[in-house]
């Protein structure tokens, strides 16, 4: 990450609580659901922060809160150095021109009564912007840029596949050239073969326009493909925050270890040899989170202090923060065969059929606990979900 640049987004101690009300004619507030509870992070221009965690951990609420689509309870949200936490709706209008969101469900995120042209041109009309050459020309250029046929300008969302609908949503999000986009699980509803295409499109747009992403996902394989930094969330808290290379090679929090051990390996031999960490119990309710460390009820490293004292995020090494009393300094793992680099050229036999080998490399081996993200022939992500 380029630390010389000021962050486009700075979030400090963000909390988003939802009231729990009693039933009856005169309902009263009887509690709070702590969806986001003291989250802090930064996103720099042209960089991607991946936000991962299991369902219900608060990652999507975090994304919506930083855009003020959900009103935060407390904390500070700075966009380009401006505190937008308490700005009025009118004051937020110019901010929204520089920030956008890509929604998870491409089927429900688009109005079925509007044409593709009307959907993608909506940001221009809402913000009162007239692009050079007119809106229609700009929309057709956007459609072509995201891989859609400009001749389909007057078609409706029902006439497109899920992957094409997500491209429509992406075109709408980048229409005004925003500096920051929240990507709320943009590929989770897509087929595996389409996921890679959408991820590559997002990376190309980031390289072209310098967009900063907050990429929300539960698939660690997808997150590793696109993120520069990764934050691991659990029950509204950030458990660990590090660069992509550090988090996947040298995870410190027990919860991160458990998540990484669940990543499937395409080789069945290595899959049998690896150690899986099974967490005990169920995810606690955010309406009644555990005392002390919120993860202590399921943690295999937990000791008495964990139930009493909440660990504060501590920089264990430069750029690597962990909120844990007993971080794991050595990865509990073994060697894994992760298969050939998808970008290599298959080696063909005399009869023209594939030999199972690849030009420049056979099976690539990584050892957990080492930095396996380097090298020109090393795939960024071993997970099958992002391989073509």
The mean per-residue pLDDT over the stretch 153-181 comes to 96
Look at residue 204 in the predicted model and tell me its pLDDT. Answer: 96
What are the pLDDT digits (tens) for 152-165? 999 999 999 999 99
Q: What is the dihedral of CA 319, 213, 180, 146, to 10 degrees?
A: 150
349 token code pair: 């036999």
Q: Where are the domains of the chain?
A: 9-234, 250-366
R_g (Cα) of the chain, nearest Å:
22
DSSP 122-139: HHHHHHT---TT-HHHHH
**pTM, 2 dp:** 0.81
pLDDT-derived band at 334 (thresholds 50, 70, 90) equals very low
Cβ pair 228, 1 in contact under 8 A: yes
Cβ pair 9, 180 in contact under 8 A: yes
Give the lowest-confidence range in 23-32, 294-303, 377-386.
377-386
Residues 101 and 323: their CA atoms lie apart, in Å, by 29
Look at residue 25 in the predicted model and tell me its pLDDT. Answer: 84
Look at residue 351 in the predicted model and tell me its pLDDT. Answer: 59
299 token code pair: 């943690």
Q: What is the dihedral of CA 129, 132, 136, 138, to 10 degrees?
A: -90
What are the pLDDT digits (tens) for 19-55? 999 888 888 988 999 999 999 999 999 999 999 999 9
The mean per-residue pLDDT over the stretch 116-143 comes to 95
Residues 356 and 10: their CA atoms lie apart, in Å, by 47
Give the lowest-confidence range in 12-21, 172-181, 259-268, 367-376.
367-376
Which carries the bigger pLDDT value, residue 256 or residue 344?
Answer: 256
pLDDT-derived band at 361 (thresholds 50, 70, 90) equals very low
Q: Does domain 9-234 have CATH number 3.30.110.30?
A: no
pLDDT surpassing 80 at residue 193 = yes
């Amino acid at each position: 990450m380029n630390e010389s640049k000021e962050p486009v987004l700075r979030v400090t101690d963000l909390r988003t609580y939802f009231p729990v009300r009693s039933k009856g004619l005169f309902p009263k507030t009887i509690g709070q659901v702590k969806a986001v509870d003291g989250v802090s992070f930064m996103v720099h221009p042209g960089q991607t922060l991946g936000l991962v965690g299991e369902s219900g951990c608060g990652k999507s609420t975090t994304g919506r809160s930083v855009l003020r689509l959900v009103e935060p309870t407390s904390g500070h949200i700075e966009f380009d150095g401006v505190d937008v936490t308490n700005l009025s709706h009118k004051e937020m209008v110019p901010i929204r021109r520089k920030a956008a969101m890509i929604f998870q469900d491409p089927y429900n995120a688009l109005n079925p009564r509007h044409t593709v042209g009307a959907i993608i041109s909506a940001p221009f009309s809402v913000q009162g912007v007239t692009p050079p050459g007119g809106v229609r020309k700009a929309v057709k250029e956007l459609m072509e840029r995201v891989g859609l046929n400009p001749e389909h300008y007057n078609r409706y969302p029902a006439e497109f596949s899920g992957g094409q609908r997500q491209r429509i949503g992406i075109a709408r999000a980048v229409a005004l050239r925003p500096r920051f986009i929240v990507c709320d699980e943009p590929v989770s509803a897509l087929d595996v073969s389409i996921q890679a295409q959408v991820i590559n499109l997002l990376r190309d747009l980031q390289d072209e326009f310098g967009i900063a992403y907050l990429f929300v996902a539960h698939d660690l394989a997808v997150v590793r493909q696109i993120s520069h930094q990764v934050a691991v969330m659990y029950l509204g808290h950030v458990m660990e925050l590090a660069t992509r290379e550090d988090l996947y090679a040298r995870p410190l929090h027990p919860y991160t270890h458990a998540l990484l051990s669940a990543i499937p390996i395409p080789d069945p031999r290595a899959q049998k040899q690896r150690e899986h960490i099974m967490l005990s119990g169920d995810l606690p309710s955010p309406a009644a989170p555990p005392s002390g460390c919120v993860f202590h009820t399921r943690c295999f490293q937990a000791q008495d202090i964990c139930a009493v004292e909440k660990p504060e995020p501590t920089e264990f090494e430069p750029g690597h923060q962990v909120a844990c009393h007993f971080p794991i300094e050595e990865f509990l793992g073994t060697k894994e065969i992760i298969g050939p680099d998808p970008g290599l050229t298959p080696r063909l036999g005399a009869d023209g059929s594939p030999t199972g080998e690849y030009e420049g490399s056979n099976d690539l081996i990584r050892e957990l606990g080492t930095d396996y993200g380097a090298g020109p022939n090393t795939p960024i992500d071993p997970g099958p979900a992002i391989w073509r």
